[in-house]
Amino acid sequence: MLRPAKANPTGTGEHPAPFASRPADTRGRRYPEPASPSRTDYQRDRDRIIHSAAFRRLQHKTQVFVYHVGDHYRTRLTHSIEVAQIARSAARALGLNEDLAEAVALAHDLGHPPFGHAGEDALNRSMAGAGGFDHNAHALRLVTQLEARYAGFDGLNLTWEALEGLVKHNGPLVGPNSAGKPLPESIAAYVTHHDLELASFAGPEAQIAALADDIAYINHDLDDGVRAGLFTLEQLSAAPLVGPILAEVRRLYPSIEPARVIHETVRRLIDGMVTDMVAETRRRAATTQPADAQAVRALAEPLVAFSPDWGPQVKALRSYLYQNMYQHPSVAGLAGQGARIVSDLFSLYQRDPAALPEEWRTARGGDAARGTESDPRRIADFIAGMTDRFAVAQHRKRFPNTPLPPEMS
């Protein structure tokens, strides 16, 4: 019989923090299952996410660039892998559970529809009056209902800690520490039978995954933006945080080609952001002295954070990217075309439910109580699962003048 490896059976670093999440203390799964003889519960969570259909589909979903414009730009899949690497490294440095941090990182983008945030905005507009659309809420639906793989239950039957991290990695959803946004319908419905304690912060590993997401997308969007010609190295010399690092790289390596300059700059910036996050988290832990993961959830502010020196600069760099990359005419133009495809498809399926695939015309994944086959949530679930190229292909079958090029289908 296989037995758990003796080395690092808890999934934490060599010196585990007292507030690390421990598999032995998990609150378990909604549907009880026998323990694995060879993996911890959080390792099983990670593996189930990797083997899910939703995870595979991320390969052809937009991060920033619609994927056909180049083979080397990030997709949702490559971004998720990069987030997981940063999260695992930071968790190890802090003595937290690496497997849980990795699982939340790998799952954090599962709920994104095609065409990035433009596609999500279009789907949310189409769902106005029917509960709206939120990618975190859709991710919860995927891992608790829509993934139909296991004989004994719908979804992936992840641990409570993984589900909590998926839903709350960006902070509480209700109560005084929340952002005050309306609670998504799907999350509100789910917690009526499986309480994820929406008023508290997530555990420390999920907080690590959230900042790892920020670190990954900021840095890799810088890399992709230079590669795409949206801004030059000279323009980046005035950008927050990036400018001083870029100047240092050029001073140390005056003769290297531009591709190496941006890579070395990004590499150093990632290291600086992770180092700052780890140091600030250690400082906060020393001040608050959380006894366990539950004590982390009960704190009045996140345990994992950037320092007062770096935090405002990270925010300023996000604003720089928003203005110079995400709103760039070439990016915004493609995004707008993708949003039109999403809106057109939603209207089509509402008007003509027979256009849906046969398996989507009947109740799926715990939705037996839902209404007709034209139910807006079911339509949103179907569209949200599309890759960019599949959405283009479906649009081209039904509409003239599909706005994105034929090579995408």
* pLDDT for residue 330: 82
SS (H, E, C) the chain: CCCCCCCCCCCCCCCCCCCCCCHHHCCCECCCCCCCCCCCHHHHHHHHHHCCHHHHHHHHCECCCCHHHCCCCCEHHHHHHHHHHHHHHHHHHHCCCHHHHHHHHHHCCCCCCCCHHHHHHHHHHHCCCCCCCCHHHHHHHHHHHHCCCCCCCCCCCCEHHHHHHHHHCCCCCCCCCCCCCCCCHHHHHHCCCCCCCCCCCCCHHHHHHHHHHHHHHHHHHHHHHHHCCCCCHHHHCCCCCHHHHHHHHHHHCCCCCHHHHHHHHHHHHHHHHHHHHHHHHHHHHHHHCCCCHHHHHCCCCCCCCCCCCCHHHHHHHHHHHHHHHHCCHHHHHHHHHHHHHHHHHHHHHHHCHHHCCHHHCCCCCCCCCCCCCCCHHHHHHHHHCCCHHHHHHHHHHHCCCCCCCHHHC
Report the distance separating Cα 392 and Cα 9, nearest Å. 46
pLDDT digits (tens), the chain, 409 positions: 333 333 455 777 667 999 999 999 999 999 999 999 999 999 999 999 999 999 999 999 987 654 445 555 788 999 999 999 999 999 999 999 999 999 999 999 999 999 999 999 999 999 999 999 999 999 999 999 999 999 999 999 999 999 999 999 999 999 999 999 999 999 999 999 999 999 999 999 999 999 999 999 999 999 989 988 899 999 999 999 999 999 999 999 999 999 999 999 999 999 999 999 999 999 999 999 999 999 999 999 999 999 999 999 999 999 999 999 888 888 888 889 999 999 999 999 999 999 999 989 876 555 544 445 569 999 999 999 999 999 999 999 999 889 876 555 5
* pLDDT for residue 67: 47
pTM of the model: 0.93
* pLDDT for residue 371: 46
* pLDDT for residue 7: 41
* pLDDT for residue 151: 95
* pLDDT for residue 6: 38
The C-alpha angle with vertex 213 and arms to 265 and 278, in degrees rounded to 5, equals: 75
CB 96 within 8 A of CB 211: no
* pLDDT for residue 405: 64
* pLDDT for residue 407: 55
Tell me the domain boundaries of the chain. Answer: 208-329
